[in-house]
Structure 1
């Protein structure tokens, strides 16, 4: 297992699986979110429980479902047994291997490598060719909630923000970094959520029912590559996602006030999907590293870690607020 097992650069920095498979084939109940553009994020994980990339990096390595039940002390001892890591830590941090240094190193890598930009939308938006976006993508852009460039004479003939995407997917990274209940995971028969989301991590005494079933708004940059979608991977296609919003989500007691029926036509839904795909950035190939030899003198093969382990027949169940 490695970070890249679930956050593969060739798969939009995710694993393209509905629910991620962890150590020994165990599974949780959440999909691995992309780490693309997390450099700009305010909180990490679907429930926002980590305040930084450094904080996030310390979670999976000691999670019994994700990378195995082990203490931070065990992890540091194992890394200190790798001469190459000891040398690099001494050079960069002036110390032996530490948990703090490890977290900083991983977070720094994500900030400089896991980036998305110069998509068709960006090329159009920053003054490039007006033809950078197709007519369908331009209509989808307006439906999404963004205006065309002032010098673009194209007439989209659709209602601005009819799809109401920018209520949550706003800003240059297309996320407001907030948490919303859109009805995913609601079981009407049981009158309950499969996963309580943000509500779980709220401090006792300040829990808010509006946070029940609420999850962080993900960026929609690279969205074409990061399916299946939603925190539980329950939607396989962008068409399913758009239809979910079009119908007004799944009604439940904590449904976000901005989730309502959109009444998009089939053509308009197709245009929104077309615009979402126009947010795919320039492909950046990430070369696999040459890992330093361990205490046994052997170097692990990073290629092997890109393939998730086989699913265990009787996999662990999700522990709320723990995985992803």
Structure 2
């Protein structure tokens, strides 16, 4: 059984106090514009928001995932270049700001934190830099090309000078470059500041509202239904969900309380089957095992198949599920956690009996977690209760909950309450 951090949130450096701000800063407003700007992709058709949308999903809340995947169950997102797709399910950007920087915890013997499914970006700014240059995402050819697109927007020219004293007009447009001209020295600094602005926007209350039904119940403002209450008891008990998706508040690096984040930011191989619905049928992703910087430290392949434990906040409105999007519904992945090792076996996820009479073999059979899932012995009714509880983790409950105890416009119960 893998070790667990005793105080997973003690590693955080982001205080929830920052999330109580009612307005965005100038830098966050710049980040918001950049986050939504399709012009920063090769064909001017994709932005950060394309895969991490600010739009409401299922009539409830913004969950910061690809709305096409959530609506149609497609496992991966389209890129800027026609027919290009990723190979992993785009994770939600909600609450991502609370993930500590990627690091090895020697005491616990675990990698913790970072961004992406394999933590390859240490922090939010590092994460924001990568999709723009990824050939199956925004597909820009270079940092210089991105800065050239920034130069085309006079509002960016003004903002970068005012905020960072960086003169975009002093950088020649890449289309005017001479043959084999080297990249201007200021390009890298501008590119980093662009990513920093996006990261600051992602740290804003837009992405971390803490206003789900769970939050209002925790604050004593309303009550769970009988089924939801049973689900929470199972979540923390027999089902064992809270072993990784911690349902208790934590403490950040400054000693400030942080509401429950429903993740411990660690990495695990839960034995997901291969998803044959991904275009091109790519080879199974090895998670931490994909990283060249970790591979040399892992001769026994103990990291293979381990992907980041993501937050369960907004989980009910963010299908499909798993790093490869193999599960179509919350009910299906809950049933998988419960019966992975007992239901039987089918050939692949295209089988009509997928999840009914059996599950396919794990796509990465090393390091599969058999201690905390696979044979939970939950009844069908108990699975239903766990799913019902997870439905209480959806943001903007005052707007969609039709709960007279929490009328529309009610702020997060944690603002001004010592958080």
Q: TM range, normalised to the smaller chain?
A: 0.7 to 0.9
1:254 to 357, 367, 371: 367
* 1:210 CA drift (Å): 2.7
Separation of aligned partners in 2, 1:83 and 1:120? 43
Stretch moving more, 244-253 or 75-84: 244-253
Q: Unpaired segments of 5 or more residues in structure 2?
A: 1-45, 58-62, 70-74, 101-113, 169-189, 249-259, 276-281, 342-360, 400-419
Quickly say closer, same or farther: Cα 1:193–1:264, change in 2 above 3 A.
Answer: farther
Counterpart in 2 of 1:29?
Answer: 87
- Per-residue CA distance 1:9-29 (angstroms, 9 max, x = gap): 224110141111112231121
* 1:213 CA drift (Å): 1.1
1:166 to 238, 242, 251: 242
2:384 to 258, 263, 270: 270
TM-score by length of structure 2 reads 0.60
Separation of aligned partners in 1, 2:398 and 2:224? 21
Q: Unpaired segments of 5 or more residues in structure 1?
A: 146-160, 286-324
- Per-residue CA distance 1:272-306 (angstroms, 9 max, x = gap): 00000001111699xxxxxxxxxxxxxxxxxxxxx
Counterpart in 2 of 1:293?
Answer: none
* 1:75 CA drift (Å): 0.8
- Per-residue CA distance 1:123-168 (angstroms, 9 max, x = gap): 1112223xx21010000001000xxxxxxxxxxxxxxx11110111
Counterpart in 2 of 1:125?
Answer: 218
Runs of 4 or more, structure 1, over 3 Å off, are 248-251
Contact 2:289 2:295 in 1 (8 A): no
* 1:117 CA drift (Å): 1.3
Separation of aligned partners in 1, 2:230 and 2:324? 30
TM-score by length of structure 1 reads 0.77
Q: CA RMSD in A?
A: 2.1
- Per-residue CA distance 1:33-87 (angstroms, 9 max, x = gap): 1000111012100111101100000000000000114111211122123211010
Alignment coverage as a number of residue pairs: 264
Separation of aligned partners in 2, 1:204 and 1:166? 30
Separation of aligned partners in 2, 1:9 and 1:127? 29
Contact 2:211 2:397 in 1 (8 A): no
Larger RCO: 1 or 2 (CA < 8 Å, sep 6+): 1
2:77 to 20, 23, 26: 20
Separation of aligned partners in 1, 2:158 and 2:191? 15
Q: Where in structure 2 are the equivalents of 1:46-195 lying within 5 Å?
A: 46-97=117-168, 98-112=190-204, 113-129=206-222, 132-145=223-236, 161-170=237-246, 171=248, 172-185=260-273, 194-195=284-285
